[in-house]
Amino acid sequence: MRIDPPVIAGEREMLVSWLEWHRATLALKCAGLDREQLVLRSVAPSNMSLLGLVRHMADVERIWFRRVLAGEDAPGIWWTEEQPDGEWENVDPADPEEAFASWHAECDFARRAVEEAPSLDVTGVRHGRDVSLRWILVHMIEEYARHNGHADLLRERIDGSVGE
């Protein structure tokens, strides 16, 4: 269920609310679809699908909150150095329940990491550079917003559903 972000709030509450809204939007775009619909690709040459988006966002959450912010050695869930687009390319045999469970687990980890951070100025390291939690949250909102646009088009192709 999506909850509209507040129009007046502190910075952390505002950023977290928008991130949660975008997470819920991706879930909404996938709701009620069967496996075949979730793996349906957009149009050639793109290999994008709703299930691929869910898998991609699980990896994105993992990278920014586990690897960067928490400093964990967390390899990609579906991508590897040999197959950097694995989350997109290997959806035909994929299990949607596994993908959604992984995405939810990574979102839960991220929520705890944000909640436990004493401030938005806490930093992690990405490619040798310090990155603030504030920057990570803004980036995650941008990442979901862009991909939710893709999800909207994919869903419209599947069953004509449109909207936020």
The pLDDT tens digits for 28-79 are 999 999 999 999 998 888 999 999 999 999 999 999 999 999 999 999 999 8
Q: Give me the residue spans of the domains in the chain.
A: 11-159
More confident residue, 85 or 140: 140
The sign of the torsion formed by the CA atoms of 84, 127, 103, 53 equals: negative
pLDDT of res. 161: 86
Instruction: Give the pLDDT mean for 117-141.
Output: 98
Reply yes or no on whether the pLDDT at 139 is more than 70.
Answer: yes
Reply yes or no on whether the pLDDT at 137 is more than 90.
Answer: yes
- What average pLDDT is seen over the chain? 95
d(CA 14, CA 107): 17
Which residue, among 136, 8, 112, has the nearest Cα to 63 in the 3D structure?
136
Which residue, among 105, 112, 114, 106, has the nearest Cα to 134 in the 3D structure?
114
Kind and range of the H or E run holding 131: strand 129-132
Percent of the chain at pLDDT exceeding 90: 88
More confident residue, 161 or 30: 30
d(CA 73, CA 76): 10
Reply yes or no on whether the pLDDT at 92 is more than 80.
Answer: yes
Q: What is the value of pTM for the model shown?
A: 0.95
Reply yes or no on whether the pLDDT at 164 is more than 80.
Answer: no
User: 3-state class of 162 per DSSP?
Assistant: coil
User: Cα-Cα-Cα-Cα dihedral of 95, 96, 99, 102, to 10°?
Assistant: -100
Class of domain 11-159: mainly alpha
Reply yes or no on whether the pLDDT at 109 is more than 80.
Answer: yes
d(CA 101, CA 61): 13
d(CA 59, CA 68): 12
